[in-house]
Structure 1
Amino acid sequence: MERELWLLWATLAVSLLCYLTNLLRSRPGSARRPPGPWPLPVIGNILDLRGNQVHQKLACLARVHGPVMRLKLGLTTAVVVSSRDAAREAFTRHGRRLAARPVPDAAQAFGFSERSMVWLPSSDPRWKNLRGVVATHVFSPRSLEAARGVRERKVRDMVRYLRARAGREVDLGDAIYGGVLNLTSSTFFSVDVVGFGGESVQGLRELVEDIVELVAKPNVSDLFPFLRPLDLQGLRRHATRKIGQVLRIMDGIIDRRLAEASSSAGGDSLDALLELLSEGKISREHMSTILVDLFVGGSDTTAITVEWAMADLLRHPDTMDKVRAEIKGALGGKEIVEEHDTANLPYLQAVVKEAMRLHPVAPILIPHMAAEDGVEIGGYAVSKGCTVLFNSWAIMRDPETWERPHEFLPERFLDKADKVGFRGKEFEFIPFGSGPRLCPGVPMAERVVPLILAWLVHAFEWRLPDGMSAEQVDVTEKFTTVNVMAVPLKAVPLVAISYLAQNSIVSETSQHSNF
C-alpha cells in the first residue's frame, strides 16, 4: 500500500512540475506556440478527446483553435494539423524533420519497434533498407503483375462465397474482410489464413487484431513516459506474448517453404525475400517482421475501404446503377472482371476516391514526430520530440477546399481524375499520408480495391434486409484502431450475371473458402 501511495504522489509531483515548466515557457517573448484548448493540470487535454470518434473531436477543436493546434496529453505534447495548406507546408518544407515516429510502449515489446519499418525512424539505415526491399520486390509493377492471377482468383473465391448465400442476409463487412485476408496472405506467402487447415495459421487473424488493439489502446505509459518501466496496464507484457506468437507463425511459414523440395511456390513475395536472404541482403528476423508488416498493413485498409464504398453505394442506388452500367459497357460481352479492366472504369475509380475521402481508414494517419528543432507550421513552432497528428478526415472534409464536403459525390473526381491521386501529392486528398512515410502499399491498394468493388457490383444485385430503405443505412463511424462502421453492414446478395450459374467461376477447382 505504501508503495502505491508513493507512486501516486511521485506521479502527481512530476506532472505538476512539468505543467508549471510549460506555463513558464509560454510567457511573452518565448517561441510562438500553436494555440489550443487550455490543459488541465497533470492530465492535460485528455478529457477533450473522450469518446470513440477522436478524429471528429479534433476537427471540432480545430474549428475553434485553428488548423494548427496544440494539445497536452498527459506529459506529452501533440500538434494537430487540420487543413490542406498546413499539411502542404508540413510535408513539403519539413518532410524529413517530421518523418520520425512516436513509438507506443506496447510496440516496443519483443523489440518489435526496432525491427518494423512502421516504427523505425526514417533516418535509420535499416528503415531505408526495408522500405527499399518492399518497394522493389513486393510492390513494384513487375512484382504486382506477377501476382495478379492470385489476387483475381481470391476475389473470385469471395464471389463464390457470397453466391452460396444468395438470397440470404450476410454480414458484408465480415465476408469482405475474410476474402481480403486470404488475398493478402496468398499474395505474400501463398497461404489462406481463413478456412485453412493449419490451426496455427488460422489463429493469425486473431493474433494480428489483438496486437493492433494493444498498440493503439490508451496507455498511461505513453501519457507519462517515466512510468514505462512499470508497465502498469500490462499492455507491453501482453504484446510481448502476442508478437512472439505471430512471429513464430511467420517463422513456421518460412521454415516450411525452405523445407520444400522446390523453393518456389509460384513467385510470391516470400520467394523474393528468401532470395534476398540467401544473398545476405536481409536478415532472418527482418524477413519475418516484413511479412507481419505486409499482412497487417495490407488487410485492414483494403477491406474497410471496400465496406465503406459498398455502404455508400447502398445508400445511393442510382450511383450503384451508374457503376454497374459502366462496368457492363467496358467489359462488352465479357463477364469476368480482370484487374486491368478497372483502369478503364473512371466512374468506379471516382467512387473509390470519394469513399476514401469521406471515410479514411486511418483518419489521423499514423502519428509523426518532430525529429529535430526548426519545424514551423502556419507560423507556429513545433519543438523537437513533439507528436504531430495529421487529421486527414478533417482535411478531406474541409469546406474551404471541398464543395458540399459531407456529401457522397463521386462526380467531383471525374474532372480532376488525373490531378488527384493516391500518393499524397495533392494535400487536400491524403488517405494514405504523404512524404517519406507515405504508405508503401499504395500500388497494391489502388489495384485491389477497385477490383473487389467491381466484382461486388457486377456479380450481384443488392437488397437491404427487412425492407430497410437506402436512407436507413447507418454510416456512423467508430474509431478504434481504424475508422470502421459503428453498425456492421448487412445486405442480401442476388445473383446478377449468368456465368455464375454455368461456367468458369463455379467450375474452378480451387477450394471454396469459408470466411
Structure 2
Amino acid sequence: MYLKLGSRKTIVVSSPDIARQVLQKHDQVLSSRTIPAAAAAYDHFKKSVAWLPVANQWRNLRKICKEQMFSSHRLDASQSLRQEKLKKLCNYVHDCCINDQVVDIGGAAFITSLNLVSATLFSVDFAQFNSNSSQETKELVRGLMEVGGVPNLADFFPVLKFIDPQGILHKSKSHISKVFVIFDDLINQRLELRSESLDHSMRNDLLEAILNYSQTNESELTLDILKHLLLVSKTSL
C-alpha cells in the first residue's frame, strides 16, 4: 500500500511475501529510521543508538545497551530496586488514606517510574512525593517526552524544518540542554569519586557500569555520546 503523508512517500508492507523480503533479505538496507525534526537538537540523531544507521558506531552502542542495560544479569540485579520503589508508592498511598488526602494516581505513578529510571541510571531519586522542589524535574522529563511524541508538521513537510512552525525543535533543544546540565553534574561527581579513591564504593547502576566498560574496553565512548546514550535510556527504560 502506498501512502503520501505530507511530502513523505510511505509504503505499508501488508503482504507476507513482501514482509519477508523487507525483514529478512533486505533488512539492513531498510533498517534505518526516518529522523524526526526534534532529534536534530544537539545532533542527537548522530549520536543516539535510536537513530544511527547500521554501522560500527551503532553496533558498539547496541552492544553496550545489550550487555549493560538489558542483560538478564542487569535486570535481576535491579529487582530489589523495583520492589523498593513499589514499596514507597504503597506507603505513600497508605499515608494519604490515613490522612484523608486525595491521591493523584497518575502523578504518583509518574514519580515512581521516574525514580526507578533515575535510580537505575544514577542511584538517585529525581522526584519526591508531595515535594514542590521536584516539580521542575518532573515537568522537564514530561516535556521531553511530549516533544518526542507530538506530531510535527516539519516531519511531514521537511521544507518547514528551517521555520520550525510549532517550535518543537526549539523546545527540544531547551529540554535537552537542561537534562544535559543534570547529567554533567552527576557524571562529574561520579568521576571525581572514582579519581579520589581507587577503592571507592562501587554503585550498582548503569553509569558505573558504562564507565567501567569504557575503561576496560578502551572504548571510544566519549562523555558527549554517553550523555546521549543516557538520554535514550531515560526515555526508554
For this structure pair, what is the TM-score category when the shorter chain's length is used for normalisation? Answer: 0.7 to 0.9
Structure 2 residue matching 1:77: 3-state secondary structure: strand
**Corresponding position of 1:217:** 150
* Residue of structure 1 aligned with 2:140, choices 193, 196, 207: 207
1:181 alignment partner AA: L
The answer to whether residue 164 in structure 2 is matched with residue 231 in structure 1 is yes
Q: 1:118 to 1:203 in 2, by over 3 A?
A: farther
* Residue of structure 1 aligned with 2:191, choices 237, 244, 258: 258
* Residue of structure 2 aligned with 1:147, choices 72, 75, 78: 78
1:89 Cα deviation after fit: 5.9
1:88 Cα deviation after fit: 6.0
- Report the count of equivalent residues: 228
Q: 1:202 to 1:138 in 2, by over 3 A?
A: farther
**Corresponding position of 1:73:** 5
Task: State the distance in 1 between where 2:127 and 2:167 align.
Answer: 30
Task: State the distance in 2 between where 1:88 and 1:153 align.
Answer: 44
The answer to whether residue 90 in structure 2 is matched with residue 159 in structure 1 is yes
Superposition map of 1:83-482 within 5 A: 90-121=22-53, 123-166=54-97, 170-195=103-128, 203-260=136-193, 263-279=200-216, 280-281=218-219, 282-298=221-237
1:113 Cα deviation after fit: 1.2
Higher strand share: 1
Q: 1:85 to 1:170 in 2, by over 3 A?
A: farther
Highest CA radius of gyration, 1 or 2? Answer: 1
Deviation string 1:214-239 (CA, Å, 9 cap, x unpaired) is 23333332222133233333322222
**Structure 1 contact 116–289 (Cα < 8 Å) conserved:** yes
Q: 1:205 to 1:291 in 2, by over 3 A?
A: farther
Task: State the distance in 2 between where 1:88 and 1:172 align.
Answer: 43
Deviation string 1:215-272 (CA, Å, 9 cap, x unpaired) is 3333332222133233333322222122111111111111122223565453211111
1:76 Cα deviation after fit: 0.6
Unaligned runs of 5+ in 1: 1-33, 35-69, 299-515
**Structure 1 contact 277–284 (Cα < 8 Å) conserved:** no
Q: 1:264 to 1:124 in 2, by over 3 A?
A: farther
Unaligned runs of 5+ in 2: none
Residue identity over aligned pairs, in percent, reads 33
**Structure 2 contact 111–138 (Cα < 8 Å) conserved:** no
RMSD (Å) for aligned C-alpha atoms: 2.8
1:90 Cα deviation after fit: 4.1
**Structure 1 contact 151–187 (Cα < 8 Å) conserved:** no
1:287 alignment partner AA: L
Structure 1 residue matching 2:50: 3-state secondary structure: coil
**Structure 1 contact 190–265 (Cα < 8 Å) conserved:** no
Task: State the distance in 1 between where 2:108 and 2:16 align.
Answer: 35
Task: State the distance in 1 between where 2:203 and 2:16 align.
Answer: 43
Structure 2 residue matching 1:164: 3-state secondary structure: helix
1:114 Cα deviation after fit: 1.0
**Structure 1 contact 181–193 (Cα < 8 Å) conserved:** yes
